[in-house]
Amino acid sequence: MNAPTRPVEAAALSSALAAFADEAWDQRIVPALTDYIAVPAKSPMFDADWAKNGHIDRVVRDAAAWVEGRRLPGLTLEVVRLEGRTPVIFFELPASGRAEGASQDTVLLYGHLDKQPEFNGWRRDLGPWTPKYQNGLLYGRGGADDGYAVYAAITALEALQAQGLPHPRCVGVIESCEESGSYDLPAYIDALKPRLGQVGLVVCLDSGAGNYDQLWLTTSLRGMVSGVLKVEILTEGIHSGDASGLVPSSFRILRHVLDRLEDSKTGRLLPESFHCDLPASRLEQARATATILGEEVWKRMPWACGADGGPALPTTTDPVEGLLNRTWRPTLSVTGADGFPEMKSAGNVLRPHTAFKLSLRLPPLVDGNQASLALKTLLEDNAPYNAKVTFHPDGRAGALGATGWNAPELAPWLEGAMNAASQAHFGAPVGYIGQGGTIPLMSMLQKGFPAAQMMVCGVLGPKSNAHGPNEFLHVPYGKKLTASVARVITACP
C-alpha cells in the first residue's frame, strides 16, 4: 500500500484528511447541495419534458462549474452529450506521486444527479425542493441520493493533493438517468470506454449504510423490473347497480392476475425463475451484520400503529431473515395506481379500467431483462374474462429490466484499507451489508471490467428515506465517508 503504516503517521494522516473533509463540507459542499436540492431535476421517467424544462441541464452545469472552480492541478472535465440522451459529466485526474512500477489501473468514481419525484407526506416545515439544514441533517430531495457524490469525490481527491499523498489515475462518471434505470448509461460507457482506461477500482457513492457508526461496504444489490399493469373491461364507466354482477370488476381481474405472481398471504413471489440461490458467504455476512444491527433491522422503519394499538409487525422479527428478505429475495410493490377517481368524486360507477405501477425487486443473480419478458408473459396470457390485460415494462428495447449485482471477492488490500479507514474515522471496523435497491451501473462495470474491485458505499443510513418524504443527508457521516474514500484511494497498490 502507498498510505503510511506507522501509527503516528497514520494518526496524522487521518487527522489531516478529516480536517480537510470537515472544512470542505461546511464551507463548500453543503452550500452547493442546498442550491442543488432547490432544483426539481427529476429523472426522465418522471419528467418527459426534461430537456425542455432544463432542470437536469442546470444541475449538471452547476456541478461541472463547481468542480472546475476547485482548480485541481491536472484535472480535466467535460460534459458529454449524446443526441437524445441525458448528459454525463466525465472528469479525469492523472496519477500523482506513484512509485515506479506501481499498477497503472484507474479508479472510477461514480454518482448521479437526477432525482426521484416529490412524493407526499413531507413534514410541514420541509419539502422536496425547499432545502433545510438542521442538526447536521440536510433535508430535501436528492441530496443524499445522490447529488452529494460528485462533490464528495472531488473533495476526497483534493484532500489527497493537499496532503501530498500519492494516488492512481482517477476518472469520474456522473450520470443523470439513474433513477430511470440508467437506460442512457450503456451508450455513454461505450463512448467513453477508450478514455476510462483499465479500471482497477470502482468507488460508487450511491448506496447506503447500516448505521452511522462505521463505514459500510455494499456487498450486493437487487435488480428491478418496473412497469404498468393495466386491465380494461369497458369502454366507459357505467352505473354499478346496473352492471355489477354481470360485468366483472377490473380491480378484481387485476387482483386475480397478480395472484399468478405473488402469494398475497406471505408476499412470496411464486415463479421460481425470480429466485436464486443464496451464496454461503452472503449468509455469513448477513449473520454478522444482524449481530451489529439487531432489531434495528426492522425497527428503523416508520411503522404505523397496529389495529390493537400496538406496533405494526414486519414480515419477520429475525434480523438475519429481515436482511435476506430485503436483499436476496424477490418482492413486489405497487407504487402507483390509475383509473380511480378521488374519494370526493367516487360515484356509484363501475370503472372501465384499473392500472397499477409495479416495482418488482429481483435477487442479485437474476437477469433483469429476462425477468421483464417472463413477467409480461405471466401477466398477459389467458386473461380472465377475455379482458384486455397489458403490462408495459419501463426502459427501452433490450434493457427492459435492471440486473442486480453481487460483489466480487474482496482483495486483501481493499479489505485492509477499508477497515483501516473505518477504524481511523469512525472508531469501528467496516461493516458489510447487502442493499435492496438497484444501481444498474454496477452489473455493467463488472461485465466490462471483471477484474476490478468494487467499493460501493453511501450516506443512505437509517431514516434517510431516499425516494420518500423527509429525505435527508447525514452530513457528519458524509464528512467521514469522504475522508475514508480518500484514504482507500491512496492505499491502491
| pLDDT single digits (tens) 314-333 | 899 999 999 999 999 999 99
Strand partners, 172: 91, 109
| Each residue's pLDDT tens digit, 344-386 | 999 999 999 999 999 999 999 999 999 999 999 999 999 999 9
Whole-number average pLDDT of the chain? 94
Check residue 1 and give its pLDDT.
Answer: 41
Give the range among 107-121, 232-246, 293-307 with minimum mean pLDDT. 293-307
Give the range among 276-290, 396-410, 469-483 with minimum mean pLDDT. 396-410
pLDDT of 5 above 50: no
Cell triple for residue 106? Answer: 484507474
Check residue 367 and give its pLDDT.
Answer: 94
Residue matched to cell numbers 491536472? 74
Backbone angles phi, psi at 388, to 5 degrees: -85, 105
Check residue 310 and give its pLDDT.
Answer: 67
Cα 55–Cα 74–Cα 57 angle in degrees, nearest 5: 5
Q: What is the mean pLDDT of residues 406-413?
A: 96
Question: Rounded to whole angstroms, how far apart are CA atoms 181 and 443?
Answer: 12
pLDDT of 184 above 90: yes
Q: What is the mean pLDDT of residues 283-304?
A: 94
Query: Do 146 and 459 meet the contact criterion of CB atoms below 8 Å apart?
Result: no
Instruction: Please compute Rg for the chain using Cα positions.
Output: 24
pLDDT of 487 above 80: yes
Residue matched to cell numbers 392476475? 257
Strand partners, 262: 269
Question: Rounded to whole angstroms, how far apart are CA atoms 444 and 403?
Answer: 9
CATH topology of domain 225-285+330-393: Alpha-Beta Plaits (3.30.70)
Cα 431–Cα 435–Cα 438 angle in degrees, nearest 5: 140
| Each residue's pLDDT tens digit, 415-464 | 999 999 999 999 999 999 999 999 888 988 888 889 999 999 999 999 99
pLDDT of 30 above 50: yes
| Each residue's pLDDT tens digit, 189-241 | 999 999 999 999 999 999 999 999 999 999 999 999 999 999 999 999 999 99
CATH topology of domain 7-221+404-490: Aminopeptidase (3.40.630)
pTM of the model: 0.91
Q: Where are the domains of the chain?
A: 7-221+404-490, 225-285+330-393
